[in-house]
Amino acid sequence: MYRKLNTPLLDEVTVQLKAGDLILLSGEIYTARDEAHKRMVEALDRGEMLPFEIKNSIIYYVGPCPPRPGQVVGSCGPTTSGRMDKYAPRLIELGLKGMIGKGARSEEVVESMKKHKAVYFTAVGGAGALLAQRVKKVEVVAYEDLGPEAIYKFTVENFPLIVTIDIYGNNLYEIEREKYKTHVKR
Amino acid sequence: MREIKASQIVEVVKKLCIEANYNLPDDILKGLKIRKKEEKSPLGQKILEDIILNAEIAMQEKMAICQDTGMAVVFVDIGQEVRVVDGDLEEAINEGVRLGYKEGYLRKSVVKSPIERINTNDNTPAVIHYRVCRGDRLIITVMPKGAGSENMSALKMLKPSDGLEGVKRFVIETVEKSGPNACPPLIVGVGLGGDFEYAAYLAKKALLRKVGERHQDILIARLEEELLNEINSLGIGPMGLGGTTTALGVHIEVYPTHIASLPVAVNLGCHATRHATFVL
């Protein structure tokens, strides 16, 4: 029922993924949310390098809870992806292949994903304790002053994801919602 | 006058912040389990299963149910025969939040200014709602409110001529627009009447009611039931990935209003609508 995937995420793989596929992801992913995205795009505007290799990478939209002593990471479920829509196409153009979050994406992001073969995964929102168990290692990569909003490198094992928008533009939110909608508009 | 020390309040607020973030209220857990059995979408069932499992892990491992441990919304009912001594009430509440978020390893999610956005690093200040009431007790409720659901909440000043139909339409529209973003299955808090800010306050307060309990007024209870059925026919489903469980409950609170007004506020609560109460 699950398909196993590893990072880096290559085009040969993204072309095979279909909206609705259940994934167990292993490898390294980078965390970034609002402020980190703002800083990355500002760095690009100044002609600077990004703090990690963006090509074939996956960004996880998350701001984790701090770990207790002995813990790798605190609760770490996805945040609402739409807030990163303004910045995502710029990173996708540079080779970002996967995004993990929750919630809808803009038309611009989906168009960019189709053009550059990038995939949008969702993780179960609010399941931060469950997801934390699949994170094996955490390292700070950049913007440490942002605390939970810093960029971290997460080493994950069998991290459970759902392919929600594939490179063909199939959107699981729309497909599944239609199946169960019986509401008559007022 | 009964005297309560500020230090007691600090301790209570601290414990409530941690307790609320680690333990999903029983009524919500029960609601999720019932809905899981009834959910028609296989993916929806799987998501509900993960949500239930997550709540169990959080409770056992003593960790936050969700990484968005929210802004601390604190409801304080102060008996008029209570006097707070050895300190300031508001400072005591904020100190409790500060300690709770530190000692509970909870995320600090508050920025000092909405424009400059510098983190206060201790999750203060709290949003505090005081109510003076009879008696000599101090009742404190902490509700950590995440932004996913808060950001999809809405308020509208309807015209009296919009009537019941207008109210229903606005509630449904707000849930429909929120789609997956507010982390369904939701608890939909509705404040009806009062004025601009009181409707919003009522909507938030409605989220504290136990899932499965209905409003005492039979007409309002019927409206809650009707809206719940309608919301669950939208198809949004668990985490917006389709299904028949979009909300666990619709809770409406009402208040008299102006002859020219019909305020309606919809405060969405995610599937981890957390809160904990203590009576001092």
Domains of chain A in start order, with CATH, are: 1-178 (3.20.130.10)
Given B145, B180, B197, the domain boundary residue is B145
CB A129 within 8 A of CB A65: no
**Optimal mutation site among B18, B111, B239, interface A, most CBs of chain A within 10 A:** B239
**B45 belongs to a structural domain:** no
Write down which residue in B122, B145, B168 finishes a domain. B145
CB contact set of A178 (below 8 Å; sequence gap of 6+): B235, B242
Buried-state track A134-160, b at ≥16 Cβ within 10 A, e below 16: bbeebeebbbeebbbbbbbbbbbeebb
Give a yes or no: residue B10 inside a domain: yes
Tens-place pLDDT, residues A116-162 = 999 999 999 999 999 999 999 999 999 999 989 999 999 999 999 99
pLDDT along chain B (280 residues), means of 10: 97 98 98 97 98 98 97 98 97 98 97 93 98 97 97 98 98 97 98 98 98 97 98 98 98 98 98 98
Q: List CB contacts of B176: < 8 A, sequence separation 6 or more.
A: B234, B236
Domain boundaries, position B178? 148-274
In a domain, B191, yes or no: yes
Structural domain ending residue among the three candidates B145, B178, B201: B145
From residue B130, how far is each of B73, B136, B257 by CA, in Å? 11, 15, 21
Q: Find the helix packing angle between B26-38 and B42-61, rounded to 10°.
A: 160
For residues B160 and B248, state if they share a domain: yes
- Domain membership of residue B176 (yes or no) is yes
Query: How many independent structural domains does chain B possess?
Result: 2
Amino acid at residue number A48: E
Q: Are residues B9 and B105 in the same domain?
A: yes
Dist CA B277 CA B28 (whole Å): 15
B223 and B130 part of one domain: no
Strand duo B138-145 + B82-85: pairing:
unpaired
CB atoms inside a 10 Å sphere around CB A126: 31
CA of A131 vs chain B CAs: smallest distance (Å): 8
Residues B120 and B138 occupy one common structural domain: yes
Q: At B190, which CATH number?
A: 3.30.1330
Q: What is the pLDDT of residues A154-186, one digit of tens each?
A: 999 999 999 999 999 999 999 999 999 998 877
> What gap in Å lies between CA A2 and CA B192, rounded to an integer?
46
Q: Is residue B234 less than 8 Å (CB to CB) from chain A?
A: yes
* The length of chain A, given as a count of residues: 186
B106 touches chain A (CB under 8 A): yes
Do B15 and B124 belong to one domain? yes
Specify whether B207 is located in the same domain as B238. yes
Q: Are residues B140 and B15 in the same domain?
A: yes
Is the peptide bond between B25 and the residue preceding it cis, with omega within 30 degrees of 0?
A: no
* pLDDT, tens digit, 9 for 90 and up, residues B98-150: 999 999 999 999 999 999 999 999 999 999 999 999 999 999 999 999 999 99
Q: Is residue B270 part of a domain?
A: yes
**Residue B177 forms part of a structural domain:** yes
- The residues of A assigned a catalytic role are 37
Residues B227 and B211 in one domain: yes
Q: Which of B47, B66, B179 sits opposite A128 (nearest CB)?
A: B66
Q: Which residues in chain A are closer than 8 Å to B40, comparing Cβ atoms?
A: 180
- Shared domain for B90 and B16, answered yes or no, is yes
CA distances from B143 to A61, A75, B152, B275, B279 (A): 24, 18, 17, 4, 15
Q: Is residue B101 part of a domain?
A: yes
Asked whether residue B10 falls in the same domain as residue B122, the answer is yes
In the DSSP assignment, the letter for residue A78 is P
Distance CA B209, CA B73 (A): 15
Residues B217 and B172 in one domain: yes
- pLDDT, one tens digit per residue, over B256-280 is 999 999 999 999 999 999 999 999 9
Residue B81 belongs to some domain of the structure: yes
Q: Are residues B156 and B127 in the same domain?
A: no
